Structure 1
Amino acid sequence: MEIAENTALVVVDVQKGFEEAGFWGPRNNPGADDNIASLIDEWQSTGRPVVFVRHDSSKPQSPLRPGYVGNDFKDYVEQRRGKGAGRELLITKTVNSAFLGTPDLAAWLGAQGIAQVVLAGIQTNMCVETTARMGGNLGFDVLVAYDATYTFDLEGPFGWRRTADELARASAVSLHGGGFARVLTTREIVDAAG
């Protein structure tokens, strides 16, 4: 696997509001934050571009709503912003896909000649998966750092409940098996980028 010199790391919604377990419920992958940090460090140390995505929820009770502390990036992300040698972009969005945020991610990537993106962040089966699907549909070579993502237990129709692990695995299978993205580990990506 090859990681291009201008491959963009897209860090999706790593915000303090996701720490509110009472709102979201049980999560998986407690090591995700360490893996996200290691990807940011690798990208910044090699001068590759990093895109930070923030979800500005329009729901008044959401922990991700603007003006509430939960809207802020987690401390380890905020401390790394502006520290790399490469280009950096902040995107804000109100929907699941970073490709439907402001400024326009696809246009920015295209203007920079970037064809490959690595995705990490929260939630695996929501904003990460939706961004990966759209990126694949738009013709980008999308890599998802599976263990640099996490999600939460969820209830769907008919009283069906799935654990965070089940949802994350289903998302990975759909993305990888469906050809939208290649799903890899953080170590595989960092090794290829180094």
Structure 2
Amino acid sequence: MHPHPNETPALLIIDMQQGIQRVSTPRNNPGAEVCIAQLLEYWRSAGWPVVHIRHISRQADSVFAPGQRGALFQPALAPWPTEQVFEKNVTDAFTHSGLERWLHARTIRRVVIAGVASENSVEATARSASCLGFITQVVADACYTFDKTDYHGQLRSADEVHAMAMANLRDEYAEVLSSADLFGALLGTAC
């Protein structure tokens, strides 16, 4: 069962660039890229809108600086010429990017979010999407993050950071679900 045309979701893939692969800090969800590739394949086969978000840093020494290899998309998740690309300079993909206008112009009311980092650009983008009135879903196993030291100086594992980011979003800002549950809903079957 596919959604009604006005409910066709846009897939937002956030910051899946080569530079993120250079982060040496331990991460969670080692299969996230495979999940994202499966989502991308499904969206492409359905002919649904795919949006690739690319972080372009304003800091010249960043791996995401313009002209750096790190700013390029990972080849396995690179956009097709028919897919939309938005660049951002901050964590939120909606800020100063034209993404909201692009979605509204196509009467897209629902977004499905995947990418990196869970507590950073994924969370910021999901919060904005919800606050702007979009039906927002975050695919937890298609997102990941890294170990991080908390406010009190305690090192938190990537799993803990990710779980907290998903908890921050769940219910108030987004429906947080697994890729299996999302595919089950899209196909009209239980997984």
- The normalised TM-score by structure 2 is 0.91
Cα drift, residue 174 of structure 1: 1.1
Spell out the pairing of 1:148-163 with structure 2 (5 A cutoff).
148-163=142-157
Residue 182 of structure 2 is aligned to residue 183 of structure 1: no
1:145 equivalent in structure 2: 139
Query: How far does residue 129 in structure 1 lie from its aligned partner after superposition?
Result: 0.5
Structure 2 SS opposite 1:29:
coil
Query: 1:4 and 1:90, CA in 2 relative to 1: closer, same or farther beyond 3 A?
Result: farther
Q: Which residue of 1 aligns with 2:85?
A: 90
Which residue does the alignment assign to 2:41? Answer: 41
Alignment length, in residue pairs?
185
Unaligned runs of 5+ in 2: none
Matched, 1:106 2:108: no
Code of the aligned partner of 1:193:
L
Which structure 1 residue ranges, 4+ long, deviate > 4 Å from structure 2?
1-5
Percent of aligned pairs sharing the same letter:
37
Q: Paired residue for 1:7, among 2, 6, 9?
A: 9
Q: Residues 19-34 of structure 1 correspond to what in structure 2 (within 5 A)?
A: 19-22=21-24, 25-34=25-34
The worse-fitting range, judged by mean Cα deviation, of 93-102 and 141-150 is 93-102
Counterpart contact for 1:116–1:140, Cα < 8 Å: yes
2:51 aligned residue: 51
Partners of 1:32 and 1:148 within 8 A in 2: yes
The alpha carbon displacement at 1:59 in A equals 2.2
Opposite residue 100 of structure 1, the aligned amino acid is: T
Question: In 1, distance between residues paired with 2:22 and 2:85?
Answer: 23
Listed as ranges, the gaps of 5+ residues in structure 1 are none
The residue identity in structure 1 corresponding to 2:126 is A
